[in-house]
């Protein structure tokens, strides 16, 4: 996998202010506001910053936590996990392995009836959904007009 490296100015130019805040500054979107929280569309979830495949819809489940939840990434090398002590507790941050963008956090042992006993709690704004049978990529970047129709 080719790594994506851009300057801060390049990221600001490519991303909306909200995308930049979450993806590049490790922000969090408000619960129940993300476009993919309740989406049931079959497909592939990609990094909104670089287009890397991160999750598949068959690993998405209803956790009722306010953010899209998955029980595993699409591939073991799709994400990087980092220790996060930013809120005074130890959490595990999830980042895109290709561009180092913040995606969300992974939690274990919460008792969800999923094969991994993990909840990958991911910000919708960090993702772009590519519905099954479609491929709206343009050099690793989701085309904005197609991004807006991908969740319909």
Q: Tens digits of per-residue pLDDT, 17-62? A: 999 999 999 999 999 999 999 999 999 999 999 999 999 999 999 9
Does the pLDDT value for residue 149 go beyond 60?
Answer: no
**Predicted local confidence at residue 134, as pLDDT:** 77
Non-local (6+) Cβ contacts of 88 within 8 A are none
- Calculate the alpha carbon distances from 145 to 12, 21, 137, 138, 148 in Å: 19, 21, 11, 12, 6
Is residue 121 among the annotated active site residues?
A: yes
Residue 99 in any domain: the answer is yes
User: In the structure encoding, which two tokens stand for residue 78, read together?
Assistant: 């799709």
Residue 66 in any domain: the answer is yes
Cα distance between residue 42 and residue 31, in whole Å: 22
Residue 100 in any domain: the answer is yes
**Predicted local confidence at residue 136, as pLDDT:** 54
pLDDT band at 111 (very low <50, low <70, confident <90, very high): very high
Does the pLDDT value for residue 76 go beyond 80?
Answer: yes
Transcribe 81-100 into DSSP letters: EEEE-TTSS-EEEEEETTT-
CATH number at residue 18: 2.170.150.20
Residue 134 in any domain: the answer is yes
- For residue 80, the enclosing domain spans 8-149
**Predicted local confidence at residue 87, as pLDDT:** 73
Q: List the alpha helices (DSSP H) in the chain.
A: 8-14, 17-23, 144-149
- Calculate the alpha carbon distances from 11 to 5, 14, 23, 48, 74 in Å: 9, 5, 9, 11, 25
Does the pLDDT value for residue 128 go beyond 60?
Answer: yes
Residue 1 in any domain: the answer is no
Residue 76 in any domain: the answer is yes
Q: How many domains does the chain have?
A: 1
**Predicted local confidence at residue 88, as pLDDT:** 78
Choosing from 47, 96, 99, 121, the catalytic residue is 121
**Predicted local confidence at residue 133, as pLDDT:** 82
Residue 3 in any domain: the answer is no
**Predicted local confidence at residue 135, as pLDDT:** 65
Residue 2 in any domain: the answer is no
**Predicted local confidence at residue 139, as pLDDT:** 39
- Collapsing DSSP to helix, strand or coil, 19 comes out as helix
**Predicted local confidence at residue 150, as pLDDT:** 36
**What is the pTM assigned to this prediction?**
0.84
pLDDT band at 147 (very low <50, low <70, confident <90, very high): very low
């Amino acid at each position: 996998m080719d790594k994506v490296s851009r300057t801060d100015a390049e990221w600001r130019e490519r991303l909306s202010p909200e995308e930049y805040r979450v993806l590049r500054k490790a922000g969090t979107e408000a619960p129940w506001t993300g476009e993919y929280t309740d989406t049931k569309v079959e497909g592939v979830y990609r990094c909104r910053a670089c287009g890397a495949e991160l999750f598949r819809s068959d690993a998405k489940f209803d956790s009722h936590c306010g953010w899209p939840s998955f029980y595993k990434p699409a591939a073991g090398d799709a994400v990087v996990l980092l220790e996060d002590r930013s809120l005074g507790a130890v959490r595990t941050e999830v980042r895109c392995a290709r561009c180092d963008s913040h995606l969300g956090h992974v939690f274990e042992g919460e008792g969800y009836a999923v094969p991994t006993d993990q909840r990958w709690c991911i910000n919708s704004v960090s993702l772009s959904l590519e519905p099954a049978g479609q491929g709206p990529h343009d050099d690793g970047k989701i085309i904005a007009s197609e991004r807006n129709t991908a969740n319909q």
